[in-house]
Amino acid sequence: MAEAETNTIINDKDDQETVPKIITFLSSLLQRVAESNDHCRLFQSQKISVFHGLTRPTISIKSYLERIFKYANCSPSCFVVAYVYLDRFVQMQPSLPINSYNVHRLLITSVLVSAKFMDDMYYNNAYYAKVGGISTVEMNLLEVDFLFGLGFQLNVAPTTFHTYCTFLQREMCMQIQSPLQQSLPQPSFNIGRPLKIHCCFNEDESSHHHQLAV
């Protein structure tokens, strides 16, 4: 059952495009996370890193992910693994939450690293730099900083992969249901509270135990 759900989220396409649903699911989640952490910036300081831009990119997260998918030619699974890497990164670097100023650079870097780890064939850093709209020098710097931020923990266990797929699937189900719930009273625990963890899971690879930590 879990394997069927995983195949669905990775391989199913949106009707209007040939883009896997993983792109839609992931962009929707990251948009909420970035907006929540943008709000938190008003009340608490956040560390500035090499991933931060001086201004917000004009391209949306969804369009940026679609661009990466179109030109990088990496497998859809790479985007799930990239999501795992992003979650690990923000847990290991709690002073660097995902927001609108760093999400694009974090995305292109996480996909680059996951493609190198997952796929037999992949483009070099200069190509990814062009796809991401940055220089090759910056792409190289981002990759090194990201790897050190992860502690070079790149392995993703099958159970971890399936768990993240399941979470993304649930996120999209919530998005689909939300228009129907707008006229209904919202649960109090879901109002006005920023995301405490910047993606979704506290992960322990040794036991493959994951907890939703929002």
Q: How distant, in Å, are the alpha carbons of 23, 71, 84, 146 from that of 125?
A: 22, 13, 21, 14
44-53, 91-100, 128-137, 140-149: least confidently modelled range: 44-53
Q: Is residue 87 a contact partner of residue 201, using CB atoms and an 8 Å limit?
A: yes
Is the pLDDT at 199 greater than 50? The verdict is no
Distance of CA 211 to the CA centre of its chain: 17
- Percentage above 70 pLDDT, the chain: 68
Q: Note the pLDDT tens digit of each residue in 69-127.
A: 999 988 888 999 999 999 999 999 888 888 888 999 999 999 999 999 988 888 999 99
Whole-prediction pTM: 0.75
Looking from the CA of 138 toward its CB, the CA atoms found within 13 Å total: 16
Better-scored residue on pLDDT, 97 or 194: 97
Q: What are phi and psi of 213, to 5 degrees?
A: -125, 65
Q: To the nearest whole number, what is the mean pLDDT of the chain?
A: 76
What is residue 42's predicted lDDT score, i.e. its pLDDT?
Answer: 53
Q: How far apart are CA 166 and CA 48, in angstroms?
A: 32
